[in-house]
Amino acid sequence: MPQGQPTVVPNDGLTTRQRRNRPLVFVHTGTGKGKSTAAFGLALRAWNQGWPVGVFQFVKSAKWKVGEERALRVLGETGEGGTVAWHKMGEGWSWVQRDIESSEEAAREGWEQVKRDLAAESYKLYVLDEFAYPMHWGWIDTAEVIEVLRNRPGTQHVVITGRNAPQELQDFADLVTDMTKVKHPMDAGQKGQRGIEW
């Protein structure tokens, strides 16, 4: 196991082991590609450790078959690592908004499910994919999210992805990565392709 040395050791009364094993909140935000991909990489590590993983997809349509979903579901069924549960909020919804009210309602219902699972300690790792959007749009109260995460029981880790993650959430999180786009094939008119985007 790697033995990284922190640059600061806080005077918080915790032992090194207690500090190492405390639950974390991750935020992957920014305009660059790879926010969800990084979160699913974390899910693979969690699966390998035998942790139960819960994925909650807040934006991508329920009809969209992403490669990570199939891979993680198959791994979760092998019995070799942890279990994997994949939740698509309501019927799912995409960037093409035809019914904003039902999309907002689906996001709220999804958040209520996450709160129930956190209270029940259903998973060791939660991937709240594209969850930054409902907070950014004001559908879900960021202060409530922070309060729920601050008071979650046990040692549950949470990773939230999506552009425009509210600053309050970033300030609260333990790890924040801002994916910055430098260059993308779409800039040259190329649409997403199989095996790369899905």
Give the per-residue pLDDT at 7. 81
User: What tens digit of pLDDT does each residue of 78-119 get?
Assistant: 889 999 999 987 554 444 455 566 788 889 999 999 999 999
User: What tens digit of pLDDT does each residue of 132-156 get?
Assistant: 999 999 999 999 999 999 999 999 9
Answer whether 125's CB lies under 8 Å from 56's CB: no
Q: Is the pTM higher than 0.95?
A: no
Least Cα distance to 160 among 185, 130, 120, 121 occurs for 130
Sequence-separated (6 or more) residues with CB below 8 Å from residue 118: 126, 148, 149, 152, 153, 156
What is d(CA 163, CA 131) in angstroms, rounded to the nearest whole number?
9
What is d(CA 129, CA 115) in angstroms, rounded to the nearest whole number?
15
Mean pLDDT, to the nearest integer, of 46-64?
A: 84
Give the per-residue pLDDT at 95. 47
Domains of the chain (ranges; CATH) run 21-151 (3.40.50.300)
Query: Is the pLDDT reported for residue 61 higher than 70?
Result: no
Least Cα distance to 57 among 115, 130, 163, 117 occurs for 130
H/E stretch holding 197: none
Selected residue with higher pLDDT from 48 and 72:
48
Query: Is the pLDDT reported for residue 62 higher than 60?
Result: no
What tokens does 8 get? 């600061």
Between the CA of residue 38 and those of 13, 103, 138, what are the distances in Å?
A: 32, 25, 25
